[in-house]
Amino acid sequence: MRVALLCVCLVTAGSPWAREVLLDAWAAQGDGGAAMVYRALLAQGWEPSPESDPYMRVADLRGNVTFLVLLAGVVLLVPRLVGRAPAARGVRLAAAVGTGVLVSLVAAVVAWAVVVFTDPAAALVFGRDTGDAFVLFAVDGLVFGTLLGALTALVHAGAPPRTNRSACGVLAYGIPARAVSRPERFGCRG
């Protein structure tokens, strides 16, 4: 349920309708930290029908690739890394922010690679060369990853603490307890 909520938030925030609002807010903001946040939020926008303009097509390609990798990362990694983290002492918060940054940076690097290898001249839309484009993608990935991690922590804030699996279910290296000659040594009933 929590992963589905995160996916709905990604779909909503990346929608073309949300991007119009973000573009208006970004234009009104100017330069600075808030502009960097707006740019990072725009980076993962999806577009069902990419533009015919070559510059917009590159931005749409970046957004679509980033969006798909983010969705895959949230579905595959959040339940494993955040859902299984202990809820005590900020461990789950650290796991949520770390997972958000990891997923977002992977999405940024994949999007950069797709843009650069599809058309090397397309990187000029994002900077003077591919190195500048990589830095821009990485910064956007870090900023968006921090926001995604904060949202993930918020969604998992009410989750019950992780229950420790006892040695009765599965012992070290995945050996079933019934395969051990004396499971009572581990506190299990035979």
Tens digit of pLDDT for each residue in 24-48?
877 777 677 887 888 888 888 888 8
Q: Which of 60, 157, 59, 139 is nearest to 101 (CA)?
A: 139
Structure tokens belonging to residue 87: 């809820």
Q: Are the C-beta atoms of residues 6 and 82 closer than 8 Å to each other?
A: no
Domain boundaries, the chain: 2-159
Global confidence as pTM: 0.78
- pLDDT below 70 — which residues of the chain? 30, 161-190
The whole-number pLDDT of residue 179 equals 54
pLDDT digits (tens, 9 = 90+) for 106-132: 999 999 998 888 877 777 888 888 889
21 phi, psi to nearest 5 deg: -65, -45
Say if residues 91 and 99 touch (Cβ distance below 8 Å): no
Cβ proximity of 2 and 155 under 8 Å: yes
